[in-house]
C-alpha cells in the first residue's frame, strides 16, 4: 500500500505538506515534491522544522477517484534555497512494532 502511494507521489509532483514547525505551530503548505535516484525525495518549505520531525505529505491529484492519504516522513534539513526557503530530504518512517524499543518518558 505504501509503495503505491509513493509511486503516485512521484507521478504528480504537487503535494500538500502538513506538520508542526520548529515553534510547534501546526502548518499546511503546498509544495512540489522532487525525487531523484540519489537524493531521494525532497520538498522545499517556507518554514523551519525541528531536525527529525515527522511531516505528512499528501499528493494533490486533481483527477484521482479518492482523496489521497497523507504519508508520514521524517524531515532532514538539507539547506536553504536562494530564495531563503528550507529544503528537506524526506526519509520514510517505519512504524515501531517491538515493545523492546519503547522509551519511557
Partner 1 sequence: MAHFGSKFMGFFASSHACFSQHLVLKFPALAFHASERVPLSKESRLVIPDIPSFSAKATVEHSFGTTVASLRGMAYATYKSVAVSSIQSSLTPCIFDDDPNERDSLARLITDMGYESVSTADAEEALRSIRMGRCRVVFASTHLETPDPFDFLDRALRCDPGVHVMIMTAQYTLEGALEAIRRGAADFLPKPLDHVRLKRTLDDLAALYDQRRRVRSLEEQLLKDLEFHGIVGKSPAMLEVFDFTRKVARHYTNVLLVGPTGAGKELVARAIHQISPVGQQRLAVCNCSAMVDTLLESQLFGHVRGAFTGATDTRPGLFEYANGGTVFLDEVGETSLPMQAKLLRVIQNREIQRVGSPEVKQVNVRLIAATNRDLRAEVLSGRFREDLFYRLSSIQIRIPSLAERLEDIPLLVQFFLKKYNDSYGKNIAGLTRRAQTVLLQHPWPGNVRELENVISTACITATGDFIDISDFPEHLQHRTTRLAGDEDWRPLSLDEVRKVHIQKVLQMCNGNRLRAAQILGIGRTSLYRYLKRDGFGVRPNANGAAA
For the CB of residue 2, give the shortest distance to partner 1 in the complex, in Å: 8
Q: Is 41 helix (H, G, I), strand (E, B) or coil?
A: strand
For the CB of residue 78, give the shortest distance to partner 1 in the complex, in Å: 22
The nearer residue to partner 1, 19 or 41, going by C-beta atoms, is 19
The nearer residue to partner 1, 18 or 87, going by C-beta atoms, is 18
Which helix or strand (DSSP H or E) is residue 2 part of? Answer: helix 2-12
- Composition of the chain by helix, strand, coil, percent to 5: 15, 45, 45
Q: Using CA atoms, how far apart are residues 41 and 88, in angstroms rounded to an integer?
A: 9
Other beta carbons within 10 Å of 57: 23
The nearer residue to partner 1, 39 or 64, going by C-beta atoms, is 64
Give 39's DSSP letter.
Answer: T
For the CB of residue 7, give the shortest distance to partner 1 in the complex, in Å: 16
User: Which residues form the interface with partner 1 (CB under 8 A)?
Assistant: 1-2, 14, 16, 18-20, 24-28, 30, 50, 54, 56, 60-65, 67, 69-70, 72, 93-105
Amino acid at each position: 500500500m505504501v509503495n503505491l502511494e509513493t509511486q503516485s507521489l512521484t507521478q504528480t509532483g504537487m503535494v500538500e505538506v502538513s506538520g508542526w514547525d520548529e515553534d510547534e505551530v501546526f502548518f499546511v503548505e503546498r509544495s512540489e515534491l522532487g525525487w531523484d535516484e540519489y537524493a531521494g525525495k525532497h520538498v522545499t518549505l517556507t518554514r523551519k522544522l525541528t531536525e527529525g520531525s515527522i511531516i505528512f505529505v499528501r499528493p494533490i491529484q486533481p483527477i484521482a477517484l479518492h482523496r489521497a492519504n497523507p504519508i508520514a516522513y521524517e524531515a532532514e534539513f538539507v539547506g536553504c534555497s536562494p530564495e531563503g526557503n528550507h529544503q528537506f530530504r524526506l526519509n520514510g518512517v517505519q512504524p515501531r512494532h517491538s515493545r523492546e524499543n519503547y522509551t519511557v518518558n
